[in-house]
Amino acid sequence: MTIERKSLRWNGWGPVNQPVMLPDNAPQWTWMAEALGMTSLPATKAKPLDEITMAPSRLNDDLVSRLSAIVGGSQVMLDNYERAFHARGKSYHDLLYVRAGKLDMAPDAVVYPRSADEVLALVKLASDEDITLIPFGGGSSVVGGTNAMAKSLGGVVITLDTTLMTRIIQIDKIAMTATIEAGIYGPALEEALQKHGVTLAHYPQSFQFSTLGGWIAARGAGQQSNRYGKAEKWLVSAKLATPKGMWTTESTPASAAGPNLNQLVAGSEGTLGVICEATVKIHDIPARKDYRGYLFKDFKSGVEAARRINHAEIPVAMVRLSDAPETFFFQAFSSSSAQTSLKSRLQRAYLRFRGFGDAPCLMLIGHEGDDDTVAWAQSRTQAIATGLGAMKLGTSAGERWYHGRFGSPYSRDPMMDHGIGIDTLETSTRWSNIENLRDKTVAAIEGAIAANTPTQNGKGIVMCHVSHSYPDGASLYFTFVFPRQLDRETEQWQAIKRAASDVLLENKGTISHHHGVGVDHTPWLREEKGEIGFQLLKKIKAEMDPNGVMNPGKLLG
C-alpha cells in the first residue's frame, strides 16, 4: 500500500496521529458557538472501532480462494479495519454513520490488485458471479461515490482498492503526456513526475488522500484548474477494465472520428469499469509561481474581475474569490490571540476609511509559468482588479493561502467532536447568473439550517467562493457550518442538501462542479441531464456492465 491504511483515520480526515488542530479551550470555539446560536458545545466524540460490532463477512471460502488466485492471498483483506476503512467515503453524511459506529454497509472483502490484468480478472469474476464490485482509490469521495452498497439486498460486496497500482508507465516530454497507473496518490504522482522536471499540477483540496483514477472518475478539479484544466480536460486516454473486457479509449490530440469516448469515462464514477491507467497532459514545472491577494468592495465587482480576466485571455492558474462571509470567517477562525484580534480591528477600521464597508471580499490570483508570462499576466490581472476598485494585499495573502491550501478538511473532525456540522457543496453557472445563484443558494441553505436546528436561536454560517472559472461562467463553492441536531442528524443533513440542490437545479446550476454525483446527487441527475440524456446514460451503463455489478447505486441511482 502506498499509504498504509492503518496510518489513516478510517472515520475522518488525514493521519491517525494528526495533531489536535484547535484545543478544547481555543477561543474560536466560543466565537463559533455564539455565531451558531448555541449556548454550549456538546462533546460528540466518534465511536472507536473496537467498540463497534460488525456483521461477519459474507465471503465464502470458495470466493476467497478464487480472489486469492487472482491477486494472491495476502491481497485479500477480510479484517474489520479494512472493511470499516472502505465502508464509506469522506462526506459529512458518511461521517454521521461511521462516527456513530453504523457499519451495516461495509464490504465483505477488500482486494488489492497490482496490475490492470488483475483488475480485469476481478471485474470478470464479479460480473460472471453477479457480485457487487466497488472501485476505490483514496476513498475521499464526498458524495458517497465509493460507498459499499450491494446491488441487491444482502448481496456480497467486494471493494477493489487500486492503490497498489502506482507505476509511471511512460513520460513523453515532447508531447508532454504521461501514462500512469490510476491508483497513485497525489503526492506520489507529483513526486514521481517532478523527478523528471514535469508536473500534472492537479491539486484538489483532497490532493494528499485522493488518486489519479478517482480524479478522472469524478471529473475532479485542481485548485489551479484555470491553467492545468479539470480532469476531463487533461485526460488524453484511459484504460478501463470493464465486464466487456479491457477498454482503451482513443488518444489523439483532437479528432473528428465520432464522439469522444474519453468524455464518457470522465465522470463514469466506476459504473462502467475500473480505470486502471490514464494518459494525461503534463507541464514543465513552472519556473515561477505568483499568488497574491486583492480586496474587493463587494462580491459583484470581484465576479466582474474574474470574468474580465477570463475574457481577456490572460494566462492565469487560479482566480479565487471569497464572498464577504467567507472572507470574514477565515479571518476570524485563524485569529487566535488578542494580538491578531487587535490587528484585525485596526485593519477593519482602515478598510472602512477606504470605503470598503463591512463586507469586503478577498480574491486570490495565482499565476504559474515562465518568468516572462507570469510577469506580463500578473500586471494584466492586477490592472483589471485595481481598475475595479480592489485594494492590493500583496503576495503575503496569497502565500498564506497557498501554504494552507489542503488544510480545510482537517477542521471537520474537531468540529464534529464539538457538536458542529460542516459541509460543502458546489456548482457552476454562467457569468450572467453567478450572483443570482449564489444569493438563492445561500438563502436556501440558511433557511434549511434555521428550520432544522437543535436550539431556538440556532443558525448557520454560510459562505461561498468562486474557485474555478471559464469563458462562459464559473464555479460556486459553498461551505456551511451549523449546530448538529443530534437526535435527527441525517434528516437535518438531508433537509439542507435537498433545499440547496433544488435551488441549484431550478436556477441553472449544475448539481456538481467537481465532487461528482455518487449517491448523494442521484436524485437531481435525471433533471440535469433530461429524460433522454438520462436514459442514454443508463443504456451506456447496461452495455458496458450488463449485470450491473460495477459500483451500483452510484451516478444513475
Q: How far is the CB of 448 from its own copies (least distance, A)?
A: 21
Q: How far is the CB of 262 from its own copies (least distance, A)?
A: 8
Specify the residue, 204 or 483, whose C-beta has the smaller distance to its own copies. 204
Q: Which ranges of 202-285 would DSSP assign to H, the alpha helix?
A: 212-217, 225-228, 231-234, 262-265
Residues 468-487 that bind its own copies (CB under 8 A): 468, 470-475
Residues 507-526 that bind its own copies (CB under 8 A): 508-517, 521, 524-525
**Phi and psi at residue 299, in whole multiples of 5°?**
-65, -40
Report the alpha-carbon distance of residue 16 to residue 410 in Å, rounded.
12
Residues 199, 190 contacting (CB under 8 angstroms): yes
Report the alpha-carbon distance of residue 49 to residue 47 in Å, rounded.
6
Specify the residue, 41 or 189, whose C-beta has the smaller distance to its own copies. 189
Residue 467's Cβ-side half-sphere holds a number of Cα atoms within 13 Å equal to 25
Measuring CA to CA, how many Å separate 58 from each of 83, 109, 158, 241, 289? 12, 9, 10, 25, 52
Specify the residue, 25 or 252, whose C-beta has the smaller distance to its own copies. 252
Long-range contacts formed by 33-36: CB under 8 A, 24+ apart: 35/461, 35/481, 36/420, 36/458, 36/459, 36/460, 36/461, 36/481, 36/482, 36/483
Contact track, its own copies, 151-180, x by CB under 8 A: ---------------------x-xxxx---
Report the alpha-carbon distance of residue 511 to residue 500 in Å, rounded.
9
Specify the residue, 82 or 545, whose C-beta has the smaller distance to its own copies. 545
Q: How far is the CB of 477 from its own copies (least distance, A)?
A: 12
Residues 336-375 that bind its own copies (CB under 8 A): 369-370, 372-373
Q: Which residues, in sequence order, are CB contacts of 247 under 8 Å at separation 6+? A: 239, 240, 241, 273, 544
Specify the residue, 414 or 509, whose C-beta has the smaller distance to its own copies. 509
Residues 283-312 that bind its own copies (CB under 8 A): 283-284, 307, 311-312
Contact status: 58 vs its own copies (CB under 8 A): no
Nearest to 212 by CA among 185, 250, 178: 185
Residue 221's Cβ-side half-sphere holds a number of Cα atoms within 13 Å equal to 24
Q: How far is the CB of 453 from its own copies (least distance, A)?
A: 30
β-partners of residue 237 are: 279
Query: In the structure grid, which three cell numbers stand for residue 126, read together?
Result: 464479479
Which stretch in 24-32, 70-78, 101-109, 251-259 sits in contact with its own copies by CB under 8 A?
251-259
Residues 399-438 that bind its own copies (CB under 8 A): 427-433
Report the alpha-carbon distance of residue 356 to residue 348 in Å, rounded.
9
Specify the residue, 251 or 344, whose C-beta has the smaller distance to its own copies. 251
Which stretch in 15-23, 28-36, 247-255, 405-413 sits in contact with its own copies by CB under 8 A?
247-255
β-partners of residue 319 are: 365
Q: Which residues, in sequence order, are CB contacts of 75 under 8 Å at separation 6+? A: 68, 111, 112, 113, 114, 164
In terms of C-beta density within 10 A (0-12 exposed, 13-18 middle, 19 or more buried), how is residue 375 classed? middle
User: Residues touching its own copies: how many (CB under 8 A)?
Assistant: 96
Report the alpha-carbon distance of residue 180 to residue 434 in Å, rounded.
37
Q: How far is the CB of 380 from its own copies (least distance, A)?
A: 7
Q: How far is the CB of 227 from its own copies (least distance, A)?
A: 8
Which stretch in 126-134, 294-302, 332-340, 464-472 sits in contact with its own copies by CB under 8 A?
464-472
Measuring CA to CA, how many Å separate 484 from each of 36, 420, 426? 10, 5, 21
Specify the residue, 250 or 399, whose C-beta has the smaller distance to its own copies. 250
Which stretch in 199-207, 287-295, 341-349, 466-474 sits in contact with its own copies by CB under 8 A?
466-474
Specify the residue, 283 or 348, whose C-beta has the smaller distance to its own copies. 283
Specify the residue, 182 or 236, whose C-beta has the smaller distance to its own copies. 236
Specify the residue, 340 or 432, whose C-beta has the smaller distance to its own copies. 432
Residues 223-242 that bind its own copies (CB under 8 A): 227, 230, 232, 236, 242
Residue 367's Cβ-side half-sphere holds a number of Cα atoms within 13 Å equal to 23
With CB under 8 A as the contact rule, the residue among 42, 197, 245, 355 that binds its own copies is 245
Contact status: 209 vs its own copies (CB under 8 A): no
Residues 464, 434 contacting (CB under 8 angstroms): no
With CB under 8 A as the contact rule, the residue among 25, 257, 353, 358 that binds its own copies is 257
Specify the residue, 12 or 214, whose C-beta has the smaller distance to its own copies. 214
Q: How far is the CB of 504 from its own copies (least distance, A)?
A: 10
Which stretch in 24-32, 64-72, 128-136, 536-544 sits in contact with its own copies by CB under 8 A?
536-544
Q: Which residue has the cell 485571455?
A: 313
Residues 120-149 that bind its own copies (CB under 8 A): none
Residues 266-285 that bind its own copies (CB under 8 A): 266-269, 281, 283-284
Amino acid found at 144 = G
Measuring CA to CA, how many Å separate 39 from each of 384, 411, 438, 462? 45, 21, 30, 19
Residues 16-35 that bind its own copies (CB under 8 A): none
Specify the residue, 86 or 307, whose C-beta has the smaller distance to its own copies. 307
Specify the residue, 82 or 94, whose C-beta has the smaller distance to its own copies. 94
Q: How far is the CB of 4 from its own copies (least distance, A)?
A: 29
